């Protein structure tokens, strides 16, 4: 099973740059970039909450569960 991060898609829908989101959320560009590219291994609920507020979305808009094929 895998969790896929769709942050780039939501940001594109909202026409928001990584720099703008970084300023609104209070998280560094580097950390947001890691999250956006799926290289982050964890996310704090407080960060997820701030991202959802800034992008006016739900956590399910950003995170997607995909079952591994067996």
pLDDT score of 70 more than 70: no
Q: Which domain holds residue 59?
A: 2-66
Helix (H) or strand (E) holding 57: none
Question: What is the tally of structural domains in the chain?
Answer: 1
Tally of residues, the chain? 70
Kindly list the distances between the CA atom of residue 46 and the CA atoms of 13, 18, 49, 51, 52, in Å, as whole numbers in the listed order. 22, 18, 5, 9, 10
Q: What is the pLDDT of residues 4-50, one digit of tens each?
A: 999 999 999 999 999 999 999 999 999 999 999 989 989 999 999 99
């Amino acid at each position: 099973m895998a969790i896929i991060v769709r942050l780039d898609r939501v940001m594109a829908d909202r026409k928001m740059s990584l720099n703008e989101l970084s300023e609104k959320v209070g998280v560094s560009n580097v950390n947001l970039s890691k999250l956006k590219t799926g290289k982050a291994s964890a996310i704090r609920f407080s960060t997820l909450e701030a991202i959802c507020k800034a992008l006016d979305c739900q956590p399910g808009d950003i995170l997607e569960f995909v079952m591994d094929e067996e």
